Amino acid sequence: MRRLTREERDNCLRLLHEGKTQQEIADFYNVHQSRISRLQTRFRITGDHNYQYGAGRGNHLAIPNNQNIRTKEIEKTTKYEQLTIEILKVWQLEKVEIIPIIVFSMGLVPKSLKINLGKLNLHDKISADMQKAVVIDAVSKLTACVVSSQEDQAVNSIISKKEKINHESLKTNKQNGIISDSTAGACKRTSRRKRCR
């Protein structure tokens, strides 16, 4: 499946804003509807529609698990083995060592962190600063998730209040003879269609 160019992404967002459906836009650009959905979600969350290479899962937080520490160390070491071989060849070195520095989202660190910091000639007190930075970042992401959830609830509350007011005004107008039953039904159907877009 092809990627959309910057201009096409701009046009997609404009068309979404104008009320076109994701499927209509996807058919026009000959891409899958999920690509348009991801574009819309990315723009809503980040305010940008550019592809973020290596962005991973974004602001989602995982529950830290002590059993994952050793697994993560092995994963990081094996991840850079190919790079180690390339560095040996290009710079003609005798030895290259991978030193993993891992701090989990809630500040958890492996026992080997102190040793690894020593290999890099860094004081072991720097680990406290790293833990603090990681915990602050995790808290800010968690706060952003909670705030966006509260904003969604507030918007839904406003929409339901507006629908209630519209319903009451239709009922009052109908009782006063300002509009007929068929007009009231048409108004209800129209408001439902608008809400579904």
Domain ranges for the chain: 6-46, 68-125, 140-196
Q: Would the pLDDT of 171 be above 50?
A: yes
pLDDT in tens, 8-38: 888 888 888 888 999 999 999 999 998 888 8
Would you state the pLDDT for residue 192?
47
Q: Would the pLDDT of 175 be above 80?
A: no
**CB within 8 A of 170, min separation 6: which ones?**
179, 184, 187, 188
Centroid of chain to Cα 132: 23
CA within 13 Å, CB half, 194: 8
Give residue 193's pLDDT band: very low, low, confident or very high (50, 70, 90).
very low
Phi, psi of 72 (to 5 degrees): -65, -40
Give residue 184's pLDDT band: very low, low, confident or very high (50, 70, 90).
very low
Would you state the pLDDT for residue 197?
45
Would you state the pLDDT for residue 173?
61
User: 81-91 vs 68-79: helix axis angle to the nearest 10?
Assistant: 30
Q: What is the pTM of this model?
A: 0.41
Give residue 189's pLDDT band: very low, low, confident or very high (50, 70, 90).
very low
Give residue 158's pLDDT band: very low, low, confident or very high (50, 70, 90).
low
What's the mean per-residue pLDDT of the chain?
75
Query: Mean pLDDT over residues 90-117, rounded?
Result: 86
**Contact of 181 with 174, CB cutoff 8 Å:** yes
Would you state the pLDDT for residue 17?
82
Give long-range contacts, CB 8 A cutoff, 24+ apart: 90-94. Answer: none
Residue 49 tokens read as 């529609």
Tokens 């660190």 belong to which residue?
Answer: 109
Would you state the pLDDT for residue 65?
59
